[in-house]
Each structure stands twice: as structure tokens, then as C-alpha cells.
Chain A
Amino acid sequence: MSKDKIPKLFDGSVNELTRPSKRKDEKPKPNLKKEKMQKTLYISRDMNRKLIELYGEEGRRQSTIVEDAVNLYYYLRLALGEKKFNELLSAVRREDPDFLREYIERFRP
């Protein structure tokens, strides 16, 4: 070995560094889908208007819309990871359908 050979200072796997870390295992959840509960939410008037518009137009119950919305939020967040999900949310918050459509077209998870 030559005298000035570079010492090895990293004992991990570089190959491992090129991939995302493994997620910690999630605990199994009990089946709560059939159980119902009442919940009072304080939301802005604008959100209330949108909710009325949705159930008025689509003829669906408010609770179904809320359940779909929460599911959409919950699983998109899991699928994208928190950072990318926050980026998506910031695009949604602009409340501009044309911008959002263009954004989603070049969406990379």
C-alpha cells in the first residue's frame, strides 16, 4: 500500500445511499370502517360553500364527500411522502384549476 493511500472513512454502502431509506413498519390497524361517529368540524365559510356545492351538484351526502376527501389526503400523503405531498398541496392552494392541470401533467412522484 502506498504511503499516501486515502483512508476509508465511510463504512456504509454507497449503493444504499442511492436509494430512499426503508420506511419503518406500520402497525396493523383495527377495522374501523363500519363504525360511525359524529364529528363537528370548524371550517371556513369558503370551505363550507365548496362542500355545499359538491353535495348539491353530485347529490351525495356530506359525510361521503368528507370520507373521500380524507382518504384522498391520507393515501396521497402516504404514497408521495410528506415533502412531495406538501408541494402538491401548495399547488392546490392556488385554487387555479388550469395551473393544477398543468402541474399534474408533469407530476413525478
Chain B
Amino acid sequence: MAVVISVANQKGGVGKTTLTMNLAYALSNMGKRVLLVDIDPQFNLTFGLIGMDVLQHGDSNVGTLMTRESDIEETIVRVRENIDLIPSHLNLSAKEIEIINTYNRERRLEKALTPVLPDYDYVFIDNPPSMGIFLVNSLTASDYVLIPLELSYFGVIGMQLMFNLMRMIREETNENLKLLGLVPNKFTRQTKVPKMRLKELKETYPDAPILTTIPKAIALEKAQSQGVSIFEFDGDGRAAKAFAKLAREVVEIVEG
């Protein structure tokens, strides 16, 4: 049975797309079948995985899926063995107003995904940072939320906004939504700030499930610009090892 995980934080630039992509590769290397859903109008994940082919998906992307202009079978793109993608597109922003005015608008994504869930072990949804109909659809369709977290002042603020949004979603549209964990990202010891914020976070929320820390690494940036995963770019590096460890941790929590 597929487990649906939203990668979300109401702050931009915290590494949602990097986390989604590399976690998917790590899980696929473990033999898990993964579906990625890019519901961010900035379509960075889609661009990272299929490049300029994104332009060919004007009539078959996550937006047209939610407005029922395309079927899920025709919308799914095979990226490689064990990884499929429902792409985003340049026109996704324009779809927002259309979806807002439709019936059952919070459950459009959930309804669209259900028929293909038996084909996968994990579904990861890469979210926009803004609180809108796309993020609400994503959280309504999800079993878990994974929050990448930059250990900065506004990074921790964004995490708290996610806690509040999760509480609202649990009350309104998805009582089974659970917090999978927080993933401190871009961690560096070059300044004292990340360590200080992590300490502060643990003091404020002693129960917070903090997962594997992902180090700040130039290799991640380079891998992304070349459209490859960290495992293909620098498989023996610290970042690749951290993502592999995180994937094992996710499997352990989810599958027990």
C-alpha cells in the first residue's frame, strides 16, 4: 500500500525539491517504487528530472489532472526504473483560480491519485511554499508530512507555520495526517547559528522528531544544475550518505 508523503515548509529555499528528488532516488535504489508529484508552480523538480521536456506537458500535468482535463495514466512520466513523475508546468499558477472554483476543491489531488496508488510504495509531493489550494490538496492527500528545515530564524518560523497548518488540516480535511519528521538541511559548522537554532528548537519543542541532518554541500548544488541526483554525481560524498541514511530512517518509521 502506497504511503503518501508531503515535503512541505511555508518558507522558500529550505531544500524541499532537493530533499524530494534525492530521497526518491535513495528509495528507488532500495527497490521501492516511487511516484513524484510536483505541485509547485515553480516546477523546479520537473525541470530537474526531465529538463526542457516540461514544455511538452502543457495538456498533461498536475494542474490538468486536478481540473480533470487529463487522465492520470496519460499524465505520469517515467523518469527511470522505479521513479515516475507527475509533472508541474508553467501554466500551473493559472490553474489555481480554476481549481478554487470547483466542487470538492480540497480533494482533487487525492481523488486523482487513488487509482494508481496500488502501483507504488511511496508517493512524494513537492509543494510550493505558499499556503494555497495546492498545499491544502497535497496535505489532504497525504499520510505524512516531512518538513525540511533551514536552521535560521525564518526557517524555524516557517516550520511553526507548518505545525499550525497541519493542525488545521487534521481538523478539517484529513484526520490521519501525521508529522513524519523534521530534516535539518544545509547544516554547516562554519557559523554558530545552525547549532544554536537547533538547540533552541529542541528546547522549544522537546518532542519534535528530528531526523538525519543533511549537510550544506556544493555537490548538491552542482548535481541539481546538471539534472542528476546526488548519488549519480557524488555517490560516496557526505550528502549522498546523509540522504541514504535518511531514506533508511523513513522506511523504518513508515514500515516499522
A contact residues vs B (CB 8 Å cutoff): 4-10, 12-15, 17-21, 23, 81, 83-84, 86-88, 90-91, 93-94, 99, 103, 106-109
Do B175 and A23 touch across chains, with their CB atoms under 8 A apart?
yes
With A10-B164, A13-B207 as given contacts, are A83 and B1 in contact (CB-CB < 8 Å)? Answer: no
Interface residues in B6-57 by Cβ distance below 8 A to A read none
Q: Which residue on A lies nearest to B142, using beta carbons? A: A83
Do B3 and A21 touch across chains, with their CB atoms under 8 A apart?
no
With A87-B117, A90-B114, A103-B118 as given contacts, are A18 and B209 in contact (CB-CB < 8 Å)? Answer: yes
Do A8 and B114 touch across chains, with their CB atoms under 8 A apart?
no
Q: Which residue on B lies nearest to A100, using beta carbons? A: B118
Do A108 and B3 touch across chains, with their CB atoms under 8 A apart?
yes
With A18-B179, A106-B1 as given contacts, are A5 and B200 in contact (CB-CB < 8 Å)? Answer: yes
How many residues from B make CB contacts under 8 Å with A? 38
Q: Separation in Å of the A104 CB from the closest CB of chain B?
A: 9
Using Cβ atoms and an 8 Å threshold, which residues of chain A touch B179?
A: 14, 17-18
Asked if B121 is at the interface of the complex by the 8 Å CB criterion, the answer is yes
Chain A-chain B contacts (Cβ-Cβ < 8 Å), number:
87
Among A8, A21, A88, A94, contact of B160 (Cβ-Cβ < 8 Å): A8
Alpha-carbon distance A90/B118, docked complex (angstroms) = 7
Alpha-carbon distance A12/B166, docked complex (angstroms) = 11
Alpha-carbon distance A93/B201, docked complex (angstroms) = 47
Do B157 and A6 touch across chains, with their CB atoms under 8 A apart?
yes
Alpha-carbon distance A19/B145, docked complex (angstroms) = 12
Using Cβ atoms and an 8 Å threshold, which residues of chain B touch A94?
A: 118
Using Cβ atoms and an 8 Å threshold, which residues of chain B touch A7?
A: 157
Q: Which residue on B lies nearest to A84, using beta carbons? A: B1
Do A108 and B167 touch across chains, with their CB atoms under 8 A apart?
no
A-B contact pairs, 21 of them (CB 8 A): A4-B153, A6-B156, A9-B163, A14-B163, A14-B179, A14-B205, A14-B207, A17-B163, A20-B177, A21-B175, A23-B175, A83-B110, A83-B143, A83-B176, A87-B1, A88-B118, A90-B115, A91-B118, A93-B115, A108-B254, A108-B255
Do B117 and A90 touch across chains, with their CB atoms under 8 A apart?
yes
Do A6 and B161 touch across chains, with their CB atoms under 8 A apart?
no
Q: Which residue on A lies nearest to B170, using beta carbons? A: A21
B contact residues vs A (CB 8 Å cutoff): 1-3, 110, 114-118, 121, 143, 153, 156-157, 160-161, 163-164, 166-167, 170-171, 174-179, 197, 200-201, 204-205, 207-209, 254-255
Alpha-carbon distance A74/B153, docked complex (angstroms) = 48
Using Cβ atoms and an 8 Å threshold, which residues of chain B touch A20?
A: 175-178
Using Cβ atoms and an 8 Å threshold, which residues of chain B touch A5?
A: 200
Using Cβ atoms and an 8 Å threshold, which residues of chain B touch A106?
A: 1, 121
Alpha-carbon distance A44/B190, docked complex (angstroms) = 68
Do B197 and A6 touch across chains, with their CB atoms under 8 A apart?
yes
Alpha-carbon distance A108/B166, docked complex (angstroms) = 23
Alpha-carbon distance A5/B204, docked complex (angstroms) = 11
Alpha-carbon distance A103/B117, docked complex (angstroms) = 10
Do A108 and B163 touch across chains, with their CB atoms under 8 A apart?
no
Q: Separation in Å of the B137 CB from the closest CB of chain A?
A: 13
13 more A-B residue pairs beyond the given contacts A20-B178, A88-B118, with a C-beta to C-beta distance below 8 A: A6-B157, A6-B201, A9-B163, A9-B164, A10-B205, A14-B205, A14-B209, A18-B179, A18-B209, A21-B170, A21-B175, A83-B174, A106-B121
